[in-house]
Amino acid sequence: MNNTPLLKINNLTVTYPLNSEGSDVLKALDNTSLKVNSGQIIGIVGESGAGKSTIGKAILGLLDPPAKLVSGEIRFLGNSLVGLSEAQFESLRGNQIGYIYQNPMTALNPVLTIGEQVIEAILANTTMTGKEAYNYAIQLLERADVSFAKDRLQKYPHQLSGGLCQRIVFAIAIAAKPKLIVADEPTTALDVTVQSSVLQTLIKLSQEEGIAIILITHDIGVVSETCDYVYVLRNGKHIEQGETVQVLEKPMQEYTRSLMASVPLIEKRLHRFALPNEGKIEGISSHLGYLQEERKEDFSSNKTILKVTNISKTFYTPSTLFKPKDAFQAVKNVSFSVNRGETVGIVGESGSGKSTIGRMILGLEDITEGNVIYKGKDINSIINSEDRLAHYLSIQCIFQDPYSSLNPRMTAGENITYGLKIHKLIDSKNAKSLAQDLMVLVGLQRQDADKLPQSFSGGERQRIGIARALGYRPDFIFCDEPTSALDVSVQANLLNLLKDLQEQFSLTLLFVSHDLAVIRQMCDRVIVMKDGEALENGSNENIFEQPKHAYTRSLLDAMPKFQGLAQY
Amino acid sequence: MIKYILKRLWHSGILAIVMSLIVFFGLYVVGDPVEMLSDDEFTEQDKIELAIELGLDKPLYEQYFTYTGGMLQGDFGTSFVYNRPVLDLIMERLPATLEISLLAMIIGLGIGIPLGIFSGIKNNSRASKIISFFTTVGYSTPNFWQAIILIMVFAVFLQWLPASGRGLTNSMFGIEWAWLSLNGLQHMALPAINLAIYKICMQQRLAKSGTQEILYQEYMTFARAKGITRNRIIRRHLLRNILIPIVTITGLEVGGLIAFSTVTETIFSWPGIGKLLLDSIHMIDRPVVVAYLILITLMFVFINFVVDVMYAFLDPRIRHQK
C-alpha cells in the first residue's frame, strides 16, 4: 500500500461565532484528526451537532463565513488544502474530490434539467465537449443504475423520485473519476427499500473506479454494512476510532457504548433499551392520583378499544392552470382492531397512508368510506359537541415534528394545560402544579415549566408534547413518528419513557413509523402498509421472524443489519 | 389550458364591464361636459344643441348602452373635446408612452438586477451598503423632485440633453417612433431615466433578497461542490431562480409605467398617453377617459396572463404540477 494517505486531517478546529463580536465561539470541530487511504471506505458517525458535516465541508473548501477554520491542516495527496483560493478549490472539486448531499431533492436545482446539471459537471471537470459529453452523461446515468437514462436527461428533479435523484447525484460525483467522495448522509432522506439499493450502487461505483469514500452518517446500520473503518465524533471532539466491528461491537469508550445501546435492533425485541445512567423519575406530588384516576365509563369487559373496518380516504386536488381536478386514494379499504393496553404499530414507507389512518381515527380527517368504532361508538355518528369532546379527550396525539407542534409564544406549562383550561377540566390555580408534575413525569425539571419551547432541545420538546397528551388522561395515544426527528440516543430514552408511561397509566398506543427497528422494539402487533393498503397484519414475532408478504420480506432485507453490542 | 384561457377572458370581460360602469357614472357626478366645452359667448340654445350633438340630452343609462354598444363593435366613441375618434387619439399617443416605458424598464432591469445580485452576494461589503443606501434614497424621494433635479443638472447646467418634447420622429410600421433617431433618443433620455430610477431601486431590492434566499439553498452548495465556475453558478443556478419573483413584479410594473407615467410625461412635456388622460379628466372628456381605462384594464389582464405563462416557463414545477 502507498505510504502517503489520500487524505490526512490533523488537529482540525473549526469555530462558529455565537455572538456578533466573535468573543464567544462554538467549536464545531475541536482538534479532530482523520486519515483516509485510497480506495478505503471510512465512516464518520455521531449525533447531531457532532461536527460530521463540517469535516466534509472543510475538505471541499465549502465552509462559508461565519464558520472559521482556526487551526490544523488538511492534506490531500500530500498537498495542503487550507487557505486555497476559491479558484484553486474549483479545479479540485468534482475533479479530485466529489461530494454527495444528504437530500437529493434539494441538492439538484429545481429549475434546470437533469441533463444540464449532469453535463455541466462533465464540461467543468473533463476535456469532453458537445455530443461526447452528452453521450458520457447517458453512460454515467446507466452506470449509476438509472433506467431510461436518455429520457431522464430531459426531466426536472421534481419529476423523479428521491432514489433516482440520488443516483443522478452519484453520477455527477463520479463524472471526473475523483479519488475521494465525501458522502454526507447519502441515504437518510430515502425510504428503506430505496436506501439499500442506492447504497449498493454507491459502493459498486467506488469499487469500479477505486474511489475512496468518507461516509458521514448517523445510521449505525449503514456504517456496519459498508465501512472498513469508523470514527466516532461527539460535539466536535474525536471520541473513538477503529475497525468497524471493533468500534461498533466492542467499543472502548462510554459514549460509544451508550450510543450503540441506543440503536434499535431488528433481530430481537428487548423489553427496554439498556441505557447507562438512566434517571429514575421521582418527586411527583399532588396530581398523580388525578392522572391515574379511571374514567367513569368502564369498558373493561370489552377487550377491543378500537375497531377499524374497511376505511378508505380519497383526497381531491383542485384544478390548476395546467392540470384538471385530480383524485388520490391515500388509504384503501384497511381494517384492523386494537385491544386495550396494547401497542399496535403501522409501518410503511413515505406515502403509504399510515399517518392518514391515524388522522381519521383522531377525527382530524373525514373518513371517505368505512367505519371506525372507538369504545363501542362509531365516530362517524359523533355529531354533538359533547360526544366530540369526550372523543378528543380520550384519544390524544403525539406529533412528528417537535419544533412545530408546540406554540412558541406559550411556556411549556401553558402548552401542556391550555387545552385543559379551555375545556374547564382544571382551574388555573391547579393548572400550574399539574403542568409541573407532568414535566417531572416525562423526565424534565419542575421549574422548566416556565420556559418557552425554544429553550428546549428536540427530545425535550417531544417530552413536553407527551406531557400535554397525558394531561387529558387519555386512554389511547396516536404516536405519529414521534422519534423520527430525533437523535438515536434521544430516541432510545423517549421510547423507554413511552413504555414506562404506558405501563403506569395503562395506555393503548397506535404507533406509526417508517423505522422497522423502532416498530420492532415498541409494538405488540404490526400492520405493514404500502400505497394505502394493509398488506400484512400480525404479531410482532410473526411479522419480523416469519413474514408472509413479499413486500414485508423486502423491507426486512433492505434494513441495514447491526448486531448490537457484543455482550447482548 | 384552453379552459384556463376562456376563464381568464370571462374574468376580464366582467372586469371591463365593472370598470366602464364605475368610470361612466363616476364622471357624470364630477361635472357637466357641456359647461366645460362652452365659452362665455354660448347661449342656452347653443348649449342645448351641443348637448344634443354629443348625445348628452338622453338619460344616463341610455347614453351608457349607446356607448358600450358602439364599443362592442369597435367604436370607442368620439372625443367631446377634439371631436375625433377616441381610438385615433389613443393610438396616436400610445407609441410615445410605450417606447419610453419600455426603455425605462430595460434600464431598470439592466442595472437593478446586477446591482441586486452583487449586493446579495457581497452582503456585508461596503459597496453593498452604499448601493443599498442609494436605492433607499431613490425609492423614497418623490419622482417629480428627481425629475426637476435631472433637468437642472443635465439640461440646464451641463446642457447635454433636452428637457422637453419628443424631438424628431421616424415612421416604422406606419407609426411614428422617437427611438429611431439620435435626436429622438436624446429627448427620450431624461424622462426614461426619471422613470427608471424607481425601477432600478425596486429591482435591486428584489434581486438582493432573492439572491440571499437562493444563495443558501443546498443546490447552490452542491453546484459549487461539482466544481463548476462561480460565473456559471450565478448565471444559470442563481439567476434562473431569482427571476421567478422578479417576473411577477416586473409585469405589474410595466403595466403601471404605461398606464400611469402621467407625472413624468407632464414634467418633460412628453406627448404620451398619460398627459392625454390628465387633460381629458380635466375637460370631462368622458369617451376618452372611459375608453382609456377599459383599455388599461384589458392590458393588465393581458400582462397577468403573460406573467403566468412566463412563470410556467421559468419554473418547471408549475408546468408539471400534478
The gap from C-alpha B266 to its chain's centroid, in whole angstroms, comes to 15
Burial class (CB in 10 A: 0-12, 13-18, 19+), A65: exposed
What are residue A19's DSSP bridge partners? none
Q: What is the ipTM of this complex?
A: 0.74
Alpha carbon separation from A540 to A343, A492, A543 (Å, rounded) = 10, 19, 5
Q: Are strands A41-45 and A212-217 parallel, antiparallel or unpaired?
A: parallel
**Cα(A209)–Cα(A90) distance, rounded to whole angstroms?**
22
Query: Smallest CA–CA separation between B298 and chain A, in Å?
Result: 20
Taking contacts as CB-CB distances below 8 angstroms, the residues of chain A near B218 are 101-103, 106-107
Amino acid at A99: Y
Yes or no: say if B184 and B103 are a contact pair by the CB < 8 Å rule: no
Taking contacts as CB-CB distances below 8 angstroms, the residues of chain A near B241 are 109-111
Residues of chain A with CATH 3.40.50.300: 7-105+180-262, 339-352+385-558
User: Which secondary structure element, helix H or strand E, spans residue A539, and what is its range?
Assistant: strand A533-539
Tell whether B122 lies on the interface with A, counting CB pairs under 8 A. no
In the CATH scheme, what is the homologous superfamily, with its name and number, of domain A339-352+385-558? P-loop containing nucleotide triphosphate hydrolases (3.40.50.300)
Q: What is the CATH number of domain B94-319?
A: 1.10.3720.10
- Are B321 and A172 a contacting pair at CB < 8 A? no
HEC string of B190-254 equals HHHHHHHHHHHHHHHHHHHHHHHHHHCCHHHHHHHHCCCCHHHHHHHHHHHHHHHHHHHHHHHHH
**Which residue of chain A is at minimal alpha-carbon distance from B236?**
A112
**Sequence ranges of the domains in chain B:** 2-72, 94-319
User: Which secondary structure element, helix H or strand E, spans residue A489, and what is its range?
Assistant: helix A488-505
Three-state DSSP class for A29? strand
List alpha helices for chain B, DSSP H: 2-30, 33-37, 44-54, 60-72, 86-121, 126-140, 143-150, 182-215, 218-225, 230-232, 239-260, 262-267, 273-282, 286-314, 316-319
The gap from C-alpha A531 to its chain's centroid, in whole angstroms, comes to 20
**CB proximity under 8 Å: A 94-133 to B:** 94-95, 98-99, 101-103, 106-113, 116, 120-121, 124-125
CATH classification for the domain delimited by A7-105+180-262, as one of 3.40.605.10, 3.30.590.10, 3.20.20.70, 3.40.50.300: 3.40.50.300
Query: Smallest CA–CA separation between B212 and chain A, in Å?
Result: 14
pLDDT at B322 over 50: no
The confidence score (pLDDT) of residue A527 equals 93
Taking contacts as CB-CB distances below 8 angstroms, the residues of chain B near A107 are 218-219, 222
Q: Could you tell me the sign of the dihedral formed by the alpha carbons of A49, A55, A56, A61, in that order?
A: positive
Q: Which of the four pLDDT bands, split at 50, 70 and 90, describes residue B107? A: very high
Q: Which residue has the cell 443635465?
A: B154
Nearest to B316 among A102, A120, A156 (CB): A156
Short-list B210, B207, B187, B211, CA closest to B199: B207
**Cα(B138)–Cα(A436) distance, rounded to whole angstroms?**
56
- Are A101 and B229 a contacting pair at CB < 8 A? no
Yes or no: say if A491 and A262 are a contact pair by the CB < 8 Å rule: yes
**Cα(A357)–Cα(A310) distance, rounded to whole angstroms?**
11
Three-state DSSP class for A334? strand
Q: Please list the pLDDT of chain A residue by residue as tens digits (568 residues).
A: 456 788 888 888 888 887 777 677 788 888 888 888 888 899 998 887 788 888 888 888 888 777 888 888 888 888 888 888 888 888 888 888 989 887 888 889 988 999 999 999 998 888 888 888 898 899 888 888 888 888 888 888 888 888 888 889 988 988 888 889 998 888 877 787 788 888 888 888 888 888 899 999 888 888 888 888 999 988 888 888 888 888 888 888 888 888 888 888 877 777 777 766 555 555 555 566 666 665 444 555 568 889 999 999 888 876 665 666 778 888 899 999 998 888 999 998 887 888 889 889 988 888 888 989 888 888 888 888 888 888 888 899 998 888 888 988 888 999 998 888 888 888 888 888 888 888 888 888 888 888 888 888 888 888 899 889 988 888 899 999 888 878 888 888 888 888 888 888 888 999 998 888 889 888 999 999 988 889 999 998 888 888 889 999 888 888 877 777 765 4
